Amino acid sequence: MKKLLLKYSPEKAGEPILAGVIKETGVLVNILYADISAKGGEILVAIDAPEQDLSKVIESLKRKGVEVEEMRRKLNLDRESCMDCGACVSLCPTRALHLTADYSLQLDEDKCVYCELCISACPVRALKVSKFEAIS
């Protein structure tokens, strides 16, 4: 699952570009959020498709004058605040959060699927998830 942020210039904001791309490539695009105004706009989409189809979508978008950025979220563990209780551990579906041999909480962000169960379960709010950010 890749997440893309599509940036539109004001001139392009009125055109049905994404619909065109979907028709052209036949790839299913899930729109997560959109904000289009006179100043241009952006659409956040999720695409669960093979690499080949994904690049077709990206190429088509760029050809039509849309800027494309791959996005990612970030789960942050505030080590200063964390008490290593482990309340989050049994809720984590992928073991991204786990205790080490010396009972410290560790986060393997690669494994995180952003289910967000841990966020509210943390008694001291040491876990925070960001909105989507560009991969730099």
Partner 1 sequence: MGKSIAEINERIRKGDAVVLTAEEMVEFVREKGVAQAAKEVDVVTTGTFGPMCSSGAFLNFGHADPPIKLGGGEIYLNDVPAYAGLAAVDTYIGATSMSRSRGMEYGGGHVIEDLVRGKEIELRGLAYGTDCYPRKEIETTITIHDINQAVLYNPRNAYQRYNAATNSRDETIYTYMGTLLPNFGNVTFCGAGVLSPLGKDPNYRTIGIGTRIFLGGAQGYIVWEGTQHNPKEGLGTIAVVGDLKQMSARYLRGCTIHKYGTSLYVGLGIPIPILDEEIARTTALDESQIKTKIIDYGVPRRDRPVVREVTYAELRSGKVEIAGKEVPTSSLSSFKVSREIAETLKRWIEKGEFFLSEPLQNLPVDRIFKPMRQIAPTPLVKEIMTKEVITAKPDCLITEAAKILAEKNVDHLPIVDEHNRLVGIVTSWDIATSVGTGKKKLSEIMTRKVITAYEDEPVDTVARRLEAHRISGMPVVNERGELRGIVTTDDLAKLWGKRR
Stretch that binds partner 1, among 5-13, 34-42, 70-78, 90-98 (CB under 8 A): 90-98
Q: Which letter does DSSP use for residue 13 in this model?
A: T
Looking at the Cβ atoms of 31 and 115, the one nearer to partner 1 is 115
Q: Interaction with partner 1 in 25-54: which residues (CB under 8 A)?
A: none
Cα(72)–Cα(130) distance, integer angstroms: 9
Among 120, 128, 130, 133, binds partner 1 (CB under 8 A): 120
* Interaction between residue 103 and partner 1 (CB under 8 A): yes
Among 64, 67, 86, 129, binds partner 1 (CB under 8 A): 86
Strands 105-107 and 133-134: unpaired
* Smallest separation (angstroms) from partner 1 to the CB of 72: 26
Among 59, 84, 108, 133, binds partner 1 (CB under 8 A): 84
- Answer for the pair 61, 17: CB distance below 8 angstroms, yes or no: yes
Cα(25)–Cα(11) distance, integer angstroms: 23
* Interaction between residue 127 and partner 1 (CB under 8 A): no
Cα(87)–Cα(6) distance, integer angstroms: 37
Residues 76, 81, 84, 88, Cα dihedral to 10° = -50
* Smallest separation (angstroms) from partner 1 to the CB of 108: 15
